[in-house]
Amino acid sequence: MRIVEHGGFVELAEIREFDLARIFECGQCFRWSAAPDGAYIGVAMGKAARIYQEGGSVFISGTLADFNTVWRHYFDLERDYEAIRRAVAIDPFMTKAAAFGAGIRILRQDKWEALASFILSQCNNIPRIKKIIDTLCRLYGEPVDFDGRTFQTFPSAENVASLSLSDLEQLRCGYRAPFLIEAARAVASGDINLEALSNRPPEEALAALKNLAGVGDKVASCVVLFGLHRLDAFPVDTWIRKTVRDHYGSSFDPAVFGEHAGIAQQYMFFYARSNQTRADKMLCETEDAG
């Protein structure tokens, strides 16, 4: 990878294992949206950016200093995803899923944002999750001027902790609202220290997170994987449960993927979700024919 700064952008030339659409649409984050020209615009780590991919290069708005302080870390660019993809391709199914997800990277997201986002994600569909998070940010985030528009950061735990249930009514997030406030208060008060948890054994982090109301196995695992960046965490949701059942049966143990089980999970999730519509259609056609 060659890094070149020009024209208000940092260009990552000859970059490998980087697919912007897959990174932003594999279900790990909810705040990046595609512009009509194919670029993604969003706010992460308090900074707004415009990012696009063209001819083997990735272009990220901002200075080299922005890139080095924020985006290099955020996109986990020091890790060799090509080697990981080979390592988790343990059988024909995973070879297919990993090839389908080539270019996915696990973002190093803000820990509180990951916790809040996955609390809101429970028993919810992705378009609606995005809508709820977008409203939360618009109402309670800090403004960030960028590209002639005003964006908002993800509101801090302190900000959300100061809100009441009626403040959150506009989110239309239903029974998740008290969970969000309780989590914010726990983080803001220091009852739970996400920074410290990222240095603890994963099982300890999981247990601490699950003490929060509305945080069970799935949400806690997502926070450990996407927020604490523990790549061996393996969240099991409806998609993964079905995929594992179909391909491995009941005796499956994610430990077969070793320290990168979470990346394997993400390949599985993205593959299962992306192929569901097509698979259903094929099934219907087969049934019609029969």
Partner DNA sequence: GTCCAGGGTCCCA
Partner DNA sequence: TGGGACCCTGGA
79 lies in the site for DNA, by CB under 7 A:
no
53 lies in the site for DNA, by CB under 7 A:
no
Hey, what amino acid is at 207? A
Residue 192's alpha-carbon distances to 209, 218, 224, in angstroms, are 8, 18, 14
173 lies in the site for DNA, by CB under 7 A:
yes
210 lies in the site for DNA, by CB under 7 A:
yes
113 lies in the site for DNA, by CB under 7 A:
no
240 lies in the site for DNA, by CB under 7 A:
yes
Q: Look up 218 and say whether it is catalytic.
A: yes
Helix (H, G, I), strand (E, B) or coil at 106: coil
List 49, 180, 197, 215, residue binding DNA (CB under 7 A): 215
What beta strand segments (E) does the chain contain?
2-6, 9-13, 32-34, 40-44, 47-54, 57-61, 143-146, 149-152
Contacts of 28 (CB under 8 A, 6+ apart): 106, 107, 109, 226, 266
User: Which is nearer to DNA, 59 or 270 (by Cβ)?
Assistant: 270
User: Which is nearer to DNA, 61 or 243 (by Cβ)?
Assistant: 243
The catalytic position among 47, 111, 130, 218 is 218
Q: Which token pair is 51?
A: 């990012």
Tokens 């240095």 sit on residue: 199
Q: Which token pair is 18?
A: 């980087």
28 lies in the site for DNA, by CB under 7 A:
yes
What string marks each residue from 253 to 272 as x (binds DNA by CB under 7 A) or -?
------------xx--x---
List 125, 166, 250, 286, residue binding DNA (CB under 7 A): 125
93 lies in the site for DNA, by CB under 7 A:
no
**CA–CA distance, 212 with 122 (Å, rounded to integer):** 14
Residues near DNA (CB under 7 A) are 26-28, 121-129, 131, 172-176, 210, 212-220, 222, 235, 237-240, 265-266, 269, 273, 277
List residues with catalytic annotation: 218
